[in-house]
Chain A
């Protein structure tokens, strides 16, 4: 079984790697690149904890092979931080509005919310629910997650003014 050489830009950093075909993008990010922020929940496309942005749109990293990421631009939850490594605007809102309890679903929630807010900084409740519909949370009951996203949206609008 041959390995494949791939190049991908991950959180704005170019990477080269040699990967086995069966390696998932999720395992690649966590084990090979060392970015453990992307969580592994179900490993078969149900929970959304593994969500990342692929060329700007949210996808599930467990449902893609690493070899398929060749030539792609990937953003993980680590990529949502400020340049100095402190929590970004969205992450800050989750901290402030208690958008997490155990934190397992949080990276996926943040990625879904990021994708939503990038195209719509005034989302309705229904649009927020739709955006995080593919992300399961076993702790919060979702209410505080939605409030966190609303808080982030408000701050984005204020910042744009």
Chain B
């Protein structure tokens, strides 16, 4: 339970991080909050030659609104922003309430005080809350290497369990959430063994309703029921353009199963996950609808 030996670099700038990653030959690993990496080091599931500590890179933490033009623009959360900071951030509460709701389910105080938003996205556990909420919010990530910065929509970023599009020489820089017009409601529900544990299954939903009371935006994402968080486009399409109530929502959920391929583990079987996915989707959508209001 003790890590193997490694070299340690306390980085002071993003440039220093990407240079270390570039020279690292895949043997260099980024240490952010450590809530996932430290156990992996202790169990020697990770044996990097070099650990680059990004906790002192000031430009990697913080939350702000960028490119603001007439209410447009995006909410930017830098990767090393602590989950506890994000949870308390008024900007996130105002512009991405779904993310605030999701982070309330992430771990415990002790882990949120160290764990980072970028760490959750980089680790990409298929049941974890921050990736799921971000996916439902049509978010992007920025990845930086010595060659430059690229932006990827989350739909293209998650590849599978703990697998993402990030290359070994890239650092996950930031999460970008487009600002939505009007008022949208957000809903987040999950089933876990105890509060703060990893979700067995989780659902995130965003609903927008126009002045006539017709749904003009619907996003539904399910985590823990596939190798990566999944948007349920078939359900979203059916909800859009409708006057929504509990009956209308319940009637459109039959297609959820077709979009998911749940696995089985010690926590739950595949059939259970599908059933729970549907129940949680309904709760998340109803919560979002109640908040959206016409």
Contact = CB atoms under 8 A, between A and B. Distances in A.
Interface of A: 1-2, 4, 20-22, 24, 27, 43-45, 48, 51, 54, 57-60, 62-65, 67-68, 112, 115, 130-131, 133-134
Given A22-B2, A58-B113, 7 more contacts: A21-B51, A43-B1, A48-B110, A57-B84, A62-B38, A63-B38, A67-B8
Contacts of B110: 48, 51, 58-60, 112, 134
B84 A133 contact: no
13 contacts: A2-B7, A20-B5, A22-B2, A22-B3, A22-B5, A24-B3, A24-B38, A44-B38, A45-B35, A45-B111, A63-B111, A68-B55, A130-B195
Contacts of A24: 2-3, 38, 42
Contacts of A115: 109
Interface of B: 1-8, 10, 31, 34-35, 38-39, 41-43, 51, 53, 55, 84, 107-111, 113-114, 194-196
A51 B109 CA distance: 10
B66 to A, nearest CB: 28
B19 to A, nearest CB: 19
B68 to A, nearest CB: 32
B111 A44 contact: no
Contacts of A133: 108-109, 194-196
Nearest to B51: A21
B5 A64 contact: no
Nearest to B37: A63
A135 B113 CA distance: 15
A59 B55 CA distance: 15
Contacts of A22: 2-6, 41
Given A21-B8, A22-B3, A22-B41, A134 B113 contact: no
Contacts of A68: 34, 53, 55
Contacts of B3: 22, 24
Contacts of B2: 22, 24, 27
A24 B106 CA distance: 23
A2 B5 CA distance: 10
A134 B109 contact: yes
A45 B5 contact: no
Contacts of A20: 5
B1 A21 contact: no
Nearest to A115: B109
A115 B110 CA distance: 10
